[in-house]
Amino acid sequence: MLNMMKADVQRIFRGKGIYLTMGVLVLFIVMHVIGTSNVGDTTLRYAGISMPFYMMQLTSNVIFAVIPIVIMIAADDFTTGTAKNVLTSGTSRMHYYISKLLLSFLFCLLLFVLHIFGGTLIATIVHGFGGTFDMDFVISVLQPFFVQLFLLMAVACVGMFFAFVTRNSSAVTGWLVGFIMAPSLIIVQLLAPINERFMDLLDFEIVTMLFSLVAFPELSTEDITRILLTGTAYILISTIAGMMVFRKCEIK
């Protein structure tokens, strides 16, 4: 499995897709950080000490970056015929699926670190740090960071489900964009006008949960537990369903 993951990493970094994805993400970071130079007093609000929390409000950039990651890691293998070659060489379908899933987690970590800490570094260079870098600051950043990362991994799991079910890059893009955008639109635009209690469903919608973590100190233990359990449910359901479908499907 490790050899398969190593080969995938080498293949991905030999291509242009990962550099384009990271380049676009860095461009958004620079636009947000440099653009704040024209907004009033930037001394503290947009200094390095505040930037991790500001960048967590913009995690939607990383959510959409998960789409090309899933395509590069898994969907492209079905398009090029690589998946069939690997499986016919003796690799089990479960090991194949798990290796792709673990690799997607690693790339989620890479992109999220680039997003949060890259933005913080650029802001520190442009505006200064604006405070004290101590253990309290580190803890205040890492707590929401790891929970947001966990939810991004849940999005990757859902993406892998779509990749192994559709085995088509375009279909993965469409389904994953729908998964990211459609639930909140359906709840707010269609269900809430019928009964406002449907708004409670947003508590279990993954994008809404990501944004709620920006105010991590204000969240109760029950809120954090709900977010973690919901993320776990997304991971387990999508992974188990994906493996079950992949075990029975015909690879061409």
Show pLDDT as tens, one digit a residue, over the chain (252 residues).
888 899 899 999 999 999 999 999 999 888 877 765 544 444 455 677 888 888 888 888 899 999 999 999 999 888 888 888 888 888 899 999 999 999 999 999 999 999 999 888 888 887 788 778 889 989 999 999 999 999 999 999 999 999 999 999 999 999 999 999 999 999 999 999 999 999 999 999 999 999 999 889 899 999 999 999 999 999 999 999 999 999 888 877
Q: Give the number of other Cβ atoms within 10 Å of residue 209's Cβ.
A: 22
Q: Which two tokens stand for residue 169?
A: 């890059």
What's the CA gap between 172 and 140, in Å, rounded?
A: 35
Start-to-end CA span in the chain (Å): 22
Domain segments of the chain as ranges: 2-248
Q: Which of 61, 144, 175, 153 is nearest to 107 (CA)?
A: 153
Q: Note the pLDDT of residue 45.
A: 59
Q: Note the pLDDT of residue 40.
A: 47
Q: Note the pLDDT of residue 91.
A: 85
Burial class of residue 87 in the structure, from the number of CB atoms within 10 Å of its CB (0-12 exposed, 13-18 middle, 19+ buried): middle
Q: Which of 154, 138, 109, 147 is nearest to 224 (CA)?
A: 147
Burial 222-238 (b: 16+ CB within 10 A, else e): ebbeebeebbeebbeeb
Q: Which three-class secondary structure string do you get for the chain?
A: CHHHHHHHHHHHHHCCHHHHHHHHHHHHHHHHHHHHHHCCCCCCCCCCCCHHHHHHCCCHHHHHHHHHHHHHHHHHHHHHCHHHHHHHCCCCHHHHHHHHHHHHHHHHHHHHHHHHHHHHHHHHHHHCCCCCCCHHHHHHHHHHHHHHHHHHHHHHHHHHHHHHHHCCHHHHHHHHHHHHHHHHHHHHHHHCCCCHHHHHHHHHCHHHHHHHHHHHHHCCHHHHHHHHHHHHHHHHHHHHHHHHHHHHCCCC
pTM recorded for the entire structure: 0.91
Q: Are 209 and 147 in contact (CB under 8 A)?
A: no
